[in-house]
Structure 1
Amino acid sequence: MVAQLNDVAGQTFDYIIVGGGTAGLTIASRLLETTDSSILVLEAGQPNLDDPKILLGAQWGATFGDPKYDWLFESTPQKYCNDRTITWSRGKGLGGSSAMNFYLWSKPPTADINAWEELGNPGWNWDTYLKYTLRTEQFTAASEEQLKSYAHTHKADFRGVSGPIKTTVPSEPLLLKKMFLETAQKLGLPLLEDGYGGNITGCWEGAVTLDRAAKWTRSYAATAHYVPHKDNPKFTVLTEAVGAKVLLSDVKDGEDFLATGVEFVHGGKTYKAHARKEVVISTGTLKSPQVLELSGIGPRDILEKIGVPVKVELPGVGENMQDHSYIGISYELDPKVAHKTTDLLRNPEFAKEQLRLHGLDQDNLHRMGVHTCYYSPIQVSSPNDASSIIERTEAFVEEKKRSGKLPPGLAEQYDIQLRMLKDDTLPDIEAVILPGYLTFISTPEAGKCYATNLCVTQHPFSRGSVHAKSSDPLEPPELDPNTFSASVDLDIFAELVKFTRRFAEVEPFKSGVVREVDPGATAQTDEEIKEYIRKYSNTCFHACGTCSMLPREKNGVVDSKLKVYGTKNLRVADVSIVPLETAAHTLAVAYCVGEYMADILRGVA
């Protein structure tokens, strides 16, 4: 199904896409559908097709930590997280991280996307985002039977009907989700009819990327965009091929360099492939800046340090990194109620029976989803502390501006973030209810069921970086998210934890749980809660910004057509181009970037 080395080494293609992940395969697929161009995709991982670890639902984290599926990046010791080194799982293989995420399909508020256009990117607004995310989705609504148990209503205008990515409502109705939503409403968060139309402030049940027609298995970039085109003679995909660098012309074409191809590593040896038209880097927020730097594009000091000649000096490469962080609050559930959680799958006999039911295409726990959530402004979650938090944030921004040390363009980003923080209609925090145990102090007990409220920050003021450590493309980049370097991020996170813990004080959630397991008695005061966060919070794997789409003078790396500054035909298309973090999980964003990139290359956007 995939190419051999001889099909690629020394050969010439119209387009070369480095990275066969979420956006990369989307671009390839759309070009194959609408043009007669030849396309090469270089993917560092294995095909991993027809793999139950990927396809079978409710195995959240099953591929994490396994180098067959996971890049297993490691951060530098994080100064503001007790010097912890944080493992950063990223998808490796066809489909990229769409093959290993928790398959929640979510979208941000309108203001978050419009902020990208405000920062200097014409066309990157909510209308465009909605257009492309609708194009990529095929939604199947909840059945009448499901609606008896679910609050999953929807508006047709906000759901795609003919796209390759299948989304739907998980089939297993859970009392746990009902408890969560009813409690959220009592805490001041309205139940939304549909959280996909640009308003997500409130509580709602989201969709998940499961394909009902394929026994409710994962719908992701490989099944949607690779498999339908695998036999197209114009489509060449080489796996286990690590993109090393982009080949740039020795002489500029006018003011810019011409990308002529790609150097890649396969089986321990280095080869080249050539491009007639364009090269697209789509290796993700943590790898795309490294590929650029190894190509001679990036901050001069970094390139000189790793011994790579400077072709295009772009100080913004690898900078402006932002990410969501999460932490869990776990609860033991009332044993008198027959809850359905992933904890049951720890019983080998039960797990075997669930696989049997899956094979018969009957209801089973592998059809569950992590999809019920709330998004709240701090004015709702922390009415007594919101003013103080806003004042501290204003002081932080003003101090940074006065210091004269802010990178170009960051003051403008901070002003937008501050404006959003002051807006009591826009969300600053999120919690998602996970039907199972996912915290890290205690050990779950056999035979018991648990729930975990996953608390997620949304618009961090902290900024990190990702840079090549050497000229070796096989050496992982240096990853420094700089988490909580802006202390206001930790302040907001603590308020998020405090608010979410209130669920256990309000019916019906109160009566549904026996006790809080983690953090429990170890985190009661504000400082103890912050220490819990510093010790146990983790990345939510939503990093963005390292190849920011911004004007060049504002530390931009790509323009609004995703073309790398200083080049004629080199693009970056993945979540690394997102200049400002959104209040959403990043799956739909990645597909949107891929869809938009394909239209740009076709000359219709």
Structure 2
Amino acid sequence: MKGNQYDFIIVGAGSAGCVLANRLTEDTQRKVLLLETGGSDKSIFIQMPTALSIPMNTKKFAWQFETEPEPYLDNRRMHCPRGKVLGGSSSINGMVYVRGHARDFDEWESKGAEGWNYQQVLPYFKKAETWAFGGDRYRGGDGPLGVNNGNNMQNPLYKAFINAGQDAGYLPTKDYNGAQQEGFGSMHMTVKNGRRWSTANAYLRPAMGRPNLTVVTHALVHKVLLDGHTATGVRYEQSGKIHEVKATEEVILSAGSIGSPHLLQLSGIGNREVLEKAGIEVKHELPGVGENLQDHLEFYFQFRCEQPVSLNGKLDWWNKLKIGVRWILKKDGLGATNHFESCGFIRSKAGVEWPDMQYHFLPAAMRYDGKEAFDGDGFQLHVGHNKPKSRGTVHVHSADPKEAPRIQFNYLQHEADREGFRACVRLTREIINQPAMDEYRGEEIQPGTAVDSDEKIDAFVRQTVESAYHPSCTCKMGIDEHAVVDPQTRVHGIKNLRVVDSSIFPTIPNGNLNAPTIMVAERAADLIRGKETLQSLEAPVVMDEQWQVRQRSGEAKRQQS
């Protein structure tokens, strides 16, 4: 059955789709349809920051994808949740706000994404945010996205970790999203007035009162409709009924790094061999669709804490109830933070130009399901090597849109990635063994001091490493034969079709992906509307001038082992 006609159809109300829905409907003459497979985000488990582990593991709010057996991780199948709710993955993520290093975006341009270097994307990072401490040359002061430091590191363990980094010879950084990413400092999160500040809260909700925006939830898009090599609309299913809607200007896929390539493939756009194997008619051969898959891995170090200051004492049901009640009444306290309030960005070895390792510090020791890891006090560091060279795929499995695609990351396929994780183990131990942690540091629970050789470290990583939930790059932007979209975000060879989400990143940045995904959508909105893009900003970036010969930039305070 036929539905209405719109100027723009956006598929996916996630980190990018909500931004586009807001910005495109600022033009009152444009009629926009936003389609989302999931439903409402009005759940306490989504809105309360401390409950972050719940929506990610709930089928109602997230696609619970699983990878094929990963050959370099002892054939483990890895969990790959993606948002299926208004706000998408910004409604289920850890709310950590990291833009990435300036050189990550210069790298994008060097890969063929002209116009996406740091000076040209910085204005859009600023446009998107309101930084709690005010706008400046690097930070935004009046954007939709609220960004702060949670409870401002009230727990003493946060600052002890930052000081330990300096003891080890690394620099402090006042703002890793500003001039200097490298170093140790406070971590930022997308929380406003004590609530998760997803793109649904920041962008979509203010736009939903506009008469030119239509939001349809519980809508599973089956395919993009094509007339030859022109996108004309989409077919979707809602409550068992099939609908077709037309776009007079453009169809925009913002279904994420798993959903967008899968939908292109379902529409007959992609690698001929992959499509024919799935029984799908090839409408347009585009070999890069679903290739170039990248992600961040991480594992966590766990230590006993010698002082009764960790959050482990708050994990029983009674304390959780008190935290929840306080949050409901006041929107503050331990319920109003993701608890990752300090962090570090370092280089894994000399000869690495900008940081390729990231730390999230947590003043508790717990499992990924939010339960206590062991009796007593503890703390942990999530650490990962963030510039992987291994590449994976997202391949359609059948013509049935309800059947999940095959996801294969090939994690740790490349020796450089395995080397990076060895550095994660050794450099982390050195940092935690600095004087600043002496009064807190107890026994190393995980990995355990016996895990010390390359072979033992490699085995530990294979068995315990987890996804940081940052899949990206499967519809990469560029101009080479494997690029899926051009620097204007238009699908190569298909008129009136764009992809705007983290799938179009040419390479994965050093950091969490929500912030750069929002930036991409902000800039793409101007490109789609035919507006002049914001003027580039000349903003100095602090780099180690001796990066080729040293691994850290601070004073040489570290203890000799």
Shared fold by TM > 0.5?
A: yes
* Corresponding residue of 2:205: 227
Q: 1:491 to 1:107 in 2, by over 3 A?
A: same
* Letter of the structure 2 residue corresponding to residue 11 of structure 1: N
Question: Which one of the candidate residues 113, 119, 130 is aligned to 2:111?
Answer: 119
Q: Does 1:299 align with 2:299?
A: no
**C-alpha separation in 2, matches of 1:193 and 1:544:** 28
Question: Which one of the candidate residues 263, 269, 273 is aligned to 2:235?
Answer: 263
Question: Which one of the candidate residues 11, 16, 41 is aligned to 2:9?
Answer: 16
Map 1:518-529; keep pairs closer than 5 Å.
Answer: 518-521=446-449, 523-529=451-457
Q: Deviations over 1:483-507 (max 9, x none)?
A: 0111220111111111112233212
**C-alpha separation in 2, matches of 1:549 and 1:569:** 16
Question: Which one of the candidate residues 160, 171, 180 is aligned to 1:179?
Answer: 160
**C-alpha separation in 2, matches of 1:494 and 1:533:** 9
Q: 1:521 to 1:497 in 2, by over 3 A?
A: closer
Q: Deviations over 1:559-584 (max 9, x none)?
A: 00000011111000000000111111
**C-alpha separation in 1, matches of 2:292 and 2:369:** 32
Q: 1:515 to 1:305 in 2, by over 3 A?
A: same
Shift of 1:59: 2.1
> Are 1:75 and 1:87, in contact at CA under 8 Å, matched by a contact in 2?
yes
Map 1:593-604; keep pairs closer than 5 Å.
Answer: 593-604=520-531
**C-alpha separation in 2, matches of 1:67 and 1:138:** 32
> Are 2:5 and 2:246, in contact at CA under 8 Å, matched by a contact in 1?
yes
* Corresponding residue of 1:585: 512
* Corresponding residue of 2:553: none
* Letter of the structure 2 residue corresponding to residue 599 of structure 1: D
Q: 1:363 to 1:121 in 2, by over 3 A?
A: closer
**C-alpha separation in 2, matches of 1:327 and 1:338:** 23
Shift of 1:459: 0.8
* Letter of the structure 2 residue corresponding to residue 539 of structure 1: S
* Corresponding residue of 2:540: none
Q: Deviations over 1:312-369 (max 9, x none)?
A: 11110000111110000011212x4433x2x344212212222232233275211333
Greater Cα shift, 277-286 or 368-377 = 368-377
Q: Does 1:193 align with 2:162?
A: no
* Corresponding residue of 1:202: 183
CA RMSD of aligned residues (A): 2.0
**C-alpha separation in 2, matches of 1:575 and 1:69:** 19
**C-alpha separation in 2, matches of 1:441 and 1:578:** 30
Q: 1:441 to 1:603 in 2, by over 3 A?
A: closer
Shift of 1:41: 0.7
**C-alpha separation in 2, matches of 1:315 and 1:371:** 42
Question: Which one of the candidate residues 166, 169, 181 is aligned to 2:149?
Answer: 169
**C-alpha separation in 2, matches of 1:122 and 1:428:** 23
Q: Deviations over 1:422-447 (max 9, x none)?
A: 34x41121111023224579984676
Q: Deviations over 1:387-428 (max 9, x none)?
A: xxxxxxxxxxxxxxxxxxxxxxxxxxxxxxxxxxx34x4112
Question: Which one of the candidate residues 422, 445, 449 is aligned to 1:494?
Answer: 422
Shift of 1:542: 1.3
Q: Does 1:238 align with 2:216?
A: yes
Structure 2 unaligned residues grouped into runs of 5+: 534-561
* Letter of the structure 1 residue corresponding to residue 410 of structure 2: N
**C-alpha separation in 2, matches of 1:121 and 1:442:** 39
**C-alpha separation in 1, matches of 2:490 and 2:209:** 30
Shift of 1:155: 7.4
Question: Which one of the candidate residues 84, 88, 96 is aligned to 2:80?
Answer: 88
* Letter of the structure 1 residue corresponding to residue 119 of structure 2: D
* Letter of the structure 1 residue corresponding to residue 21 of structure 2: A
> Are 2:365 and 2:374, in contact at CA under 8 Å, matched by a contact in 1?
no
> Are 1:247 and 1:261, in contact at CA under 8 Å, matched by a contact in 2?
yes
Question: Which one of the candidate residues 104, 109, 123 is aligned to 2:96?
Answer: 104
Shift of 1:269: 3.5
Q: Deviations over 1:196-250 (max 9, x none)?
A: 12531111212211112xxx1111111111211222221111111111110000x
* Corresponding residue of 1:72: 64
> Are 2:195 and 2:331, in contact at CA under 8 Å, matched by a contact in 1?
no
* Corresponding residue of 2:317: 348
**C-alpha separation in 2, matches of 1:440 and 1:310:** 41
Question: Which one of the candidate residues 436, 448, 466 is aligned to 2:376?
Answer: 448
Question: Which one of the candidate residues 470, 484, 491 is aligned to 1:557?
Answer: 484
> Are 1:155 and 1:194, in contact at CA under 8 Å, matched by a contact in 2?
no
> Are 2:286 and 2:484, in contact at CA under 8 Å, matched by a contact in 1?
yes
Map 1:380-529; keep pairs closer than 5 Å.
Answer: 422-423=351-352, 425-439=353-367, 444=372, 448-521=376-449, 523-529=451-457
SS of aligned partner of 1:203: strand
Q: 1:235 to 1:559 in 2, by over 3 A?
A: same
Q: Does 1:358 align with 2:331?
A: no
Q: 1:338 to 1:363 in 2, by over 3 A?
A: farther
The structure carrying a bigger helix percent of its residues is: 1
Q: Does 1:45 align with 2:23?
A: no
> Are 1:503 and 1:510, in contact at CA under 8 Å, matched by a contact in 2?
no
* Letter of the structure 2 residue corresponding to residue 318 of structure 1: G
Q: What number of residue pairs does the alignment pair up?
A: 530
**C-alpha separation in 2, matches of 1:155 and 1:515:** 42
**C-alpha separation in 2, matches of 1:303 and 1:27:** 29
Question: Which one of the candidate residues 26, 31, 36 is aligned to 1:33?
Answer: 26
Shift of 1:35: 4.0
* Corresponding residue of 1:545: 473
* Letter of the structure 2 residue corresponding to residue 183 of structure 1: A
Structure 1 unaligned residues grouped into runs of 5+: 1-5, 142-153, 252-256, 380-385, 387-421
- Percent identity of paired positions between Structure 1 and Structure 2: 32
> Are 2:394 and 2:408, in contact at CA under 8 Å, matched by a contact in 1?
yes
* Corresponding residue of 1:338: 309
**C-alpha separation in 2, matches of 1:505 and 1:199:** 25
Greater Cα shift, 470-479 or 191-200 = 191-200
* Corresponding residue of 2:285: 313
Greater Cα shift, 444-453 or 351-360 = 444-453
Shift of 1:44: 0.8
Q: Deviations over 1:548-602 (max 9, x none)?
A: 001142x000000000011111000000000111111111111011111110111
SS of aligned partner of 1:490: helix
Q: 1:205 to 1:492 in 2, by over 3 A?
A: same
* Letter of the structure 2 residue corresponding to residue 28 of structure 1: A
Shift of 1:36: 2.0
> Are 2:365 and 2:373, in contact at CA under 8 Å, matched by a contact in 1?
no
* Corresponding residue of 1:412: none
* Letter of the structure 1 residue corresponding to residue 204 of structure 2: Y
Q: Which runs of 4+ in 1 moved over 6 A?
A: 440-443
TM-score of the pair, normalised by structure 1: 0.84
SS of aligned partner of 1:498: helix
Q: Deviations over 1:172-198 (max 9, x none)?
A: 512111110000001111001221125
* Corresponding residue of 1:211: 192
Q: Deviations over 1:497-546 (max 9, x none)?
A: 11112233212213212211212245232211111110010111112110
> Are 1:435 and 1:452, in contact at CA under 8 Å, matched by a contact in 2?
yes
> Are 2:309 and 2:377, in contact at CA under 8 Å, matched by a contact in 1?
no
Q: 1:367 to 1:24 in 2, by over 3 A?
A: same
